[in-house]
Amino acid sequence: MSTSGALGQDTHPKVFISYAWSEIRSEMVLDIGKRLLQDGIDVVLDLWNLKEGDDRFHFMETSICDKAITKVLIFSDQRYSEKADGRNGGVGIETQILTPELYSSVVDSKFIPVACEIDAHGNAYMPTYLKSRLYLDFRDETRLTENYVRLVRLIYGKPEHKKPPLGDAPKYIVDPDAVPRRSYTRFLSWKQAAFRNSAAVTSAQNDYLTELYREMPSYYLERGEGETHHDALIRTLKMLIPIRDELLDLFTAIVTEDPARSAGRIGNVLERMIKFRFRPNNVNVWEPWLAEAIGFFCWDLFLHTLARLIGQEHYSISATMLNRRWATPETHPDRPLFKASSFELFYFNSSILYRHNEQAQTRYLNYQSNVLKSLLSEQNGLAFEELVQADVILSARSYLKEKDSWFSHLRRYSSNRPIVPLFERAEERQGFRDLATVLGIESKAELQSAAAANKSSQWSQGTDVLNLMHIEKLDTK
């Protein structure tokens, strides 16, 4: 197995394991060594690298000083720490070799302490020269299981938490006359409360949402001097990107905190947001284009929300969101007929973007999709292909269960194959169960029936969706 994709070169990382021999510790390092080998990591270990007649001190020195060794794993327990501090036995010899190497390698973290035992005060047994170093906790099976993946990531140089890219200076820094968005300061307060697991986290969350709802009307379109409707829309959409990413952070926290109630809580926020797409109750003179930025924003946010839920395999939560009947805003044109709507309420087509595309010399197949792609941010960690999958899933669900009015346009810009990984995984039994949960169907027969009905009807969005699904291959493995 090659690790060229992980490391950027055709090689395997190589580690040396240092430990103090005992029956328990030998079994432990032998087991971990075998697991590391299975994960593509070459392991130098005396149990299989040292044989009768070899010079063990030479083996220790060459292994520790070997430039090919990228990490030295030090499995420390009471026996190891005492031998190291007393410079006794093989561990003592290793310590004499390790110490100068370690102090000359402060920056690159070549040496990784692994705690295997704690003292009566709950402190890890560590040699004096390692006490200031952060360590991995392997002192029982539960902690070993939790931290093994972290160890593998450290060896491969792929840490779990990667520093996000540096953003631009806030507008209120670049423009001294700009005022920081009040909801953003409330968001930071909520983030701090959540990080500290403070009792004030719920009130901080409510403060943020209350302030955000108060600010939303400020995103109705206003054209600046000499500005077209299109330019005003793009400018406003860029202002809404941070709010989308803040809400995605909030939704993720809600799912983590209370999965059982998360669909309802997230849905309440989305339901409140969609109201701003339509004429406010206290306004009589109104043009629909005024709320085009908010309409785009709600569509974009709904796609991002579903994409993240599916990406994190929250299929039941996704299904609950799609099953929900959303309160139709009072000023919605269909309000007299329908007091509740499906998720299709969030579908949006921008007339401003459509007209701009029609008048442009270079026309896009779907300019709105192109704009959405340009507004992606690395901050929320979602790739465009994940949004494509969510868009196609919504189209399929709309065809099967609703009014067939969610048209999937994003897939035209997808370079990924398969376009919908969830469809491909559904060829297996568990994958099909996950897909069926999201689509709200009971069986493969329900899809086959829909396909048969589609053949005898006029063209609909369902035609392309069903072709992408390859129904005949589903639940066959």
CATH number, domain containing residue 130: 3.40.50.10140
**Residue 9 shares a structural domain with residue 139:** yes
390, part of any domain: yes
170, part of any domain: no
Long-range contacts of 134-143 (CB under 8 A, 24+ apart): 135/76, 136/112, 138/28, 138/32, 138/75, 138/114, 139/115
Q: Output the pLDDT for position 165.
A: 74
Distance CA 87, CA 96 (A): 7
403, part of any domain: yes
**Residue 130 shares a structural domain with residue 263:** no
Instruction: Indicate the residue type of 245.
Output: D
**Residue 215 shares a structural domain with residue 336:** yes
**Residue 142 shares a structural domain with residue 192:** no
Distance CA 471, CA 239 (A): 42
**Residue 139 shares a structural domain with residue 236:** no
Q: Output the pLDDT for position 244.
A: 96
**Residue 344 shares a structural domain with residue 268:** yes
Q: Output the pLDDT for position 4.
A: 44
195, part of any domain: yes
Among the candidates 122, 156, 190, a domain finishes at 156
Q: Output the pLDDT for position 186.
A: 94
**Residue 151 shares a structural domain with residue 188:** no
**Residue 81 shares a structural domain with residue 191:** no
Q: Output the pLDDT for position 117.
A: 92
**Residue 137 shares a structural domain with residue 218:** no
176, part of any domain: no
* Residues comprising the chain, all counted: 477
pLDDT tens across 66-111, in order?
A: 888 889 899 999 999 998 888 888 777 777 776 666 555 544 578 8
Tokens of residue 24, six digits: 């328990």
pTM above 0.85?
Answer: no
Q: Output the pLDDT for position 439.
A: 93
163, part of any domain: no
Q: What range defines the domain where residue 262 resides?
A: 182-473
Q: What percent of the chain has pLDDT over 90?
A: 49
* Spans of the chain below 70 pLDDT: 1-10, 98-108, 170-172, 175-179, 335-337, 378-379, 417-418, 454-463
- The total domain count for the chain is 2
Q: Output the pLDDT for position 315.
A: 96
Distance CA 74, CA 91 (A): 10
**Residue 49 shares a structural domain with residue 198:** no
Cα–Cα–Cα angle for 53, 56, 61, nearest 5°? 140
**Residue 352 shares a structural domain with residue 438:** yes
Q: Output the pLDDT for position 9.
A: 44
**Residue 393 shares a structural domain with residue 457:** yes
Contact call for residues 217 and 192 (beta carbons, < 8 A): no
